[in-house]
Amino acid sequence: MNARKVALECLLTLSHTSASITSVVDSAFGRYAIDGRERRLVNGLVYGVIRWQGQLDWVLNQFINPRFQLDARHRNILRLGAFQLLHLDGIPAHAAIYEAVQLATSHPRKSSSGRKTAGFINAVLRSVQRKSATLAYPPLDKNPTEHIAVSLSYPTWLIKQWLQTRGVSWTLAFCRASNQIAPLALRVNPLLTQREEVSQSLNASGVPATASKIAPDGLVLENRAITAFDATGDKTLKDVLSREDIYVQDESAMLVSHLLSPADAQCVVDLCAAPGGKTTHLAHLMRNAGKLIAVDVSAEKIGLLEKNCRRVGAYNVETQVLDATKADLGFIKTADAVLIDAPCSGFGTLRRHPDIRWNKTFKQVRALSEIQYNLLKNTAQHIKPGGILVYSTCSVEPMENEEVVQRFLTNFPMYTVENAQRFLPDVPQSVITPQGFVQTFPHEHGVDGAFAARLRKGV
């Protein structure tokens, strides 16, 4: 299987299932023997086509008769070809078109229809090559929703919502930043080493890394050649990522455990813990002392968490399988602090998960906000007086963030917000909102979008 055939298979799977892009690509790598260079091409093609799918379809539709119905296979072949023509400078146009035609003829129903389809694919892509630069998107000043949705490849409903809540400048900047490929960030385990030592070690291995500007235990890999595509095919980096003294985690996510500030806590509970990024971070900040109870809704998720805990030496973790929105949480009455890293839309992570934009609806986001509130409500009654409750998401949506917290505070007035600046004194001031919450954006801070609030129950 060459890279483009594997990429097409992944795109077809994504077109008719709800599986995540990460799981689909990883599954394909498990089935086929593909070397590092080809793996990076597969990843670049699949993630790129999904990221730019809205724009690609708009461009392609300029050269396809609207009465012509394309099936999923040929639509995705055209998307692959158009993506290479419009976004990959390193692939010659003739090669991109030729490979697309080869995909079209690789499994024809009939030889004659296969030849006819190949001619159609060739004609459309040559039109894209010759004429795409002359196409005019809907004007920004007259129709900002359609302009941004088409030119930057986002669903119309989401752009409309961002324009209403954030405005044109924010929406443009956020969408542009969220279309960039995120760098790879690593969290250093302070129980085993120091950040400077890991940085020196990585640089010596040919993997340039610099200290994070917002996370005190974070490193960022600088080499764009490595971070641009999936790095699991690169042996050097694969070896690095299996080290027990580092954990792959975005810098914004690292702030949450520091906000909880668990160093002196005897008991901490993480109620939505899998796959374990924040759990292992909390364990390291606790210096593996006291008790850390990690909870998630399925045994499979808890199994993954336990594996990650073993890999990085998080030894004070106990696990439980339960649904924290419904279960009796009486066991948390002795906890000094509780973390709710709530299930959310994930719109802050679009750089890493471009498929999310196409897989969520407003109705689903609203339903998530109810789940988030129910998590807070079910937890609040059990926290002891003086106890800490940290609520976090990887979303940028007010309805999942500030609105959930404000609703909670209205109904549970015994809780108050503690300003995050007290616990994150070295982060840029723009990371802390006027209400004292943590809020990061990729276009402002160069990290994933994330939100966190530290709440204390009155004595």
The gap between the terminal CA atoms of the chain, to the nearest Å, is 64
Across the range 153-172, mean pLDDT stands at 98
- Any domain includes 15: yes
DSSP-based three-state secondary structure for 111: helix
- Any domain includes 316: yes
Is the same domain home to 244 and 353?
no
Is the same domain home to 9 and 98?
yes
Query: 225 pLDDT exceeds 70?
Result: no
Integer Cα distance of 217 and 197 in angstroms = 12
Domain boundary among 193, 220, 248: 248
pLDDT attached to residue 223: 52
Which residues have C-beta within 8 Å of that of residue 108, sequence separation ≥ 6? 114, 115, 117
Across the range 72-86, mean pLDDT stands at 97
Among 32-46, 101-115, 292-306, the least confident range: 101-115
pLDDT attached to residue 334: 95
Is the same domain home to 202 and 337?
no
Query: 71 pLDDT exceeds 70?
Result: yes
- Any domain includes 114: yes
Beta bridge partners of 392: 341, 452
Query: 227 pLDDT exceeds 60?
Result: no
Is the same domain home to 112 and 164?
no
- Any domain includes 38: yes
pLDDT per residue over 163-209, tens digit each?
Answer: 999 999 999 999 999 999 999 999 999 999 999 999 998 888 888 89
- Any domain includes 139: no
Is the same domain home to 129 and 237?
no
Mean residue pLDDT of the chain comes to 93
CATH number for position 126: 1.10.940.10
Q: How confident is the model at residue 229 (pLDDT cuts 50, 70, 90)?
A: very low
Is the same domain home to 327 and 372?
yes
Is the same domain home to 32 and 166?
no
Provide the sign of the torsion angle of the four alpha carbons 263, 269, 271, 275, taken in this order: positive
DSSP-based three-state secondary structure for 119: helix
Which residues have C-beta within 8 Å of that of residue 207, sequence separation ≥ 6? 221, 223, 226, 236, 237, 240
Rounded to 5 degrees, φ, ψ at 409 are -65, -35
CATH number for position 189: 3.30.70.1170
Domain boundary among 69, 100, 134: 134
pLDDT attached to residue 300: 96
Whether residue 446 contacts residue 427, with contact meaning beta carbons closer than 8 Å, is answered with: no
- Any domain includes 163: yes
pLDDT attached to residue 228: 38
CATH number for position 390: 3.40.50.150
Is the same domain home to 271 and 397?
yes
Give the DSSP H or E segment for 269. strand 267-270
Is the same domain home to 418 and 368?
yes
DSSP 182: P
Task: Note the residue count of the chain.
Answer: 459
Integer Cα distance of 110 and 116 in angstroms = 10
DSSP-based three-state secondary structure for 324: coil
pLDDT attached to residue 68: 84
Is the same domain home to 329 and 436?
yes
Across the range 360-384, mean pLDDT stands at 97
Give the residue numbers spanning the domain of 228. 185-248
Whether residue 302 contacts residue 321, with contact meaning beta carbons closer than 8 Å, is answered with: yes
Buried/exposed code over 86-109 (b: 16+ C-beta within 10 A; e: otherwise): beeeebebeebbebbbebbeeeee
Query: 110 pLDDT exceeds 80?
Result: no
Alpha helices in 132-193 (DSSP H): 144-152, 156-165, 168-178
Is the same domain home to 303 and 224?
no
- Any domain includes 340: yes
Across the range 114-131, mean pLDDT stands at 90
Residue 355 Cα distances to 149, 155, 279, angstroms: 15, 11, 26
pLDDT attached to residue 235: 62
Q: How confident is the model at residue 372 (pLDDT cuts 50, 70, 90)?
A: very high
Among 218-227, 335-344, 358-367, 380-389, the least confident range: 218-227
Number of structural domains (the chain) is 4
Domain boundary among 156, 176, 196: 176
Is the same domain home to 297 and 230?
no
Whether residue 101 contacts residue 94, with contact meaning beta carbons closer than 8 Å, is answered with: no
DSSP-based three-state secondary structure for 283: helix
Burial of 20: CB neighbours in 10 Å, binned 0-12, 13-18, 19+: middle
- Any domain includes 242: yes
